[in-house]
Amino acid sequence: MLQHPQVKGPGVGLLGFSKGGEVCLAMAAFLKNITAVASLNGPVAATFVPFSYKDKFIPIVTLHEYKAKAIDSKVLDYSDVMDDPFQAPGNQSRIPLEKAEAQLLFVVGQDDHVVKSEYFATKLCKLLQAQGKENFQILSYPGTGHCIDPPFFPLYPIGSHPVFHKRAILGGEPRAYSKAQVHAWSQVQAFFKKYLIVN
């Protein structure tokens, strides 16, 4: 990417949603020249597929499908199926973001029913702060579920779970979600302009 003629450098920015946010965070933990990362409801642990880079290996966090809660006969709430990456045994799967040099922006929906994204982002930032790091910020939106799309995309509060392939509640309420879309995407752009554009 840095060799591409349209990339100004000296570093790159990464934007990812859900699993994509998780991958971006892992890249920031292990790769150089990552300047800024915006993670939208991304897990802070390896999910579904382990991470392997040189001599580093992060195993996947365990998911317990039996912990899914039935909302009705056709829709499940998966928010409690993942082991906590801040407590054993799930802590082996946490991405070591204390190693990241990049600026980190966590955009989280408080009504996310796929990942406990607000809890994970808050716990992670407290951990980073305790280690003297200040390279993070959280944007947290009430009434907003797992999907935080660009402005004017329609809300889809129910979808297919990416692992279990069953109907899952994603969360969100139309009015709050619409406001979050407009605000979050303007903040993401401002974040990248602040940390990537060299005058």
Active site residues: 18, 112, 146
Other residues' Cβ atoms within 10 Å of the Cβ of residue 81 = 20
Please state, in angstroms and rounded to a whole number, the distance separating the CA atoms of residues 81 and 65.
6
Other residues' Cβ atoms within 10 Å of the Cβ of residue 122 = 15
- DSSP letter for 195, please: H
Concatenating the DSSP letter of every residue in 154-193 gives PP--EEE-TTT-SEEE----HHHHHHHHHHHHHHHHHHHH
